[in-house]
Amino acid sequence: MAADHYEVLGVDRDATPDEIKKAYRRLARELHPDVNPSADAAERFKLVTHAYDVLSDPKQREQYNLGPQAGPGGSPFGSAQGFSGFEDIFSTFFGGSTGSRGPKSRRERGQDALLRVEIDLADVVFGAHRDLEVDTAVVCGRCNGSCCEPGTHEVTCDICHGTGSIQRSVRSLLGNVMTSSPCGTCRGYGTVIATPCTTCQGQGRVRARKTIPVDIPAGVDTGLRLQLPGQGEVGPAAGPNGDLYLEIKVRHDDVFSRDGDDLLATLEVSMTDAILGTHANFSALDGPVDVEVRAGTQSAEIVTVKSRGITRLRGSGRGDLRIGIQVVTPTKLGRGERELIERFAKQHKAEKPRLSQFQQGLFAKLRDRFLNL
């Protein structure tokens, strides 16, 4: 139980402001740490200073003298319990509530945090692991979230006596009504931190950098947000952690692009390989790929390699790797090469150029074929 302020200063309850000030000055000279370095004197000095702060303020002294009220009284309707509608009306007109719900907790949930993470397209195929360095709020290591300097603790508020609220009687059309408002001394907590922690300044948390291991699942895409429960900031007074949200951004890849769960790529083949057919070997995002180019292949044809796309985020299996063929026509020919091509043209007896149905450009044609498969 908290000590009585009048007893701490050694004055009567009807003492004048001058008598209270004289008593404080006398005790302060006796107990000041510069004069009396003992631990007991230091603790008494804090009590004396707090008592003087309360009793020297006329408003706080009046509230202290009134003390906590027993509850609503004088109302012609008796107890207001169970009539939430009346409580709302009283709160609107008189700036408070008709009953006390107890002091509020210093412990609050921490804020959520948002972090943007860039990954490569290759990481999307099978997923990736990242150790993320984040600046966030963590529990104060000095006070362990108590908000008090080690060796000290919270003390019950002498104004509201631990209730967290001050009640007063208001005259209304319905009679005398008891209204309640948060205590201005303890801000509704019911307790006062006399000696705040010097590291966190009485917050119970500090800013620090910490490492958070994250497993990014396969199949994610730009704009997707992943929720990591309990990995956000710790709340005041070591309250529960908020959540951490990761917003994914997939970096551009110069060779491969994405269409849903499929990967798209363009394979350039020479004119002769397109005519005669060949095998092409190249490295995909997850290893080597062997592709057969059939004889007579035309530009913009699609070769599909099953299950070599992206692992599906929801469901099982993988998409496909779809490869668009681009036949490359040589632009510089030697004399011998040109003679061979001319001889081939005479033997093949190709038709002369003529107008036919309009053909889209290669890349537009490839795009439409990819999308319509």
Residue 143 annotated in ligand binding: yes
**What sign has the CA pseudo-torsion 107, 108, 114, 117?**
positive
Q: Are 16 and 61 in contact (CB under 8 A)?
A: no
Q: Closest Cα partner for 219 from 319, 122, 125? A: 125
Residue 147 annotated in ligand binding: no
* Both tokens assigned to 163: 């209730």
Question: DSSP assignment of 142-206, as one string?
Answer: TTTTS-B-TT---EE-TTTTTSSEEEEEEEETTEEEEEEEE-TTTTTSSEE-SSB-TTTTTSSEE
| Percentages (nearest 5) of helix, strand, coil residues in the chain | 25, 30, 45
Residue 183 annotated in ligand binding: yes
Q: Are 106 and 189 in contact (CB under 8 A)?
A: yes
**What sign has the CA pseudo-torsion 216, 217, 218, 219?**
negative
Cα separation of 87 and 69, whole Å?
17
Residue 148 annotated in ligand binding: no
Alpha helices by DSSP H, listed for the chain, are 5-9, 17-31, 39-55, 58-66, 84-94, 121-126, 271-276, 335-348, 362-372
**Annotated binding site, which residues?**
140, 143, 157, 160, 183, 186, 197, 200
**Annotated binding site for Zn(2+), which residues?**
140, 143, 157, 160, 183, 186, 197, 200
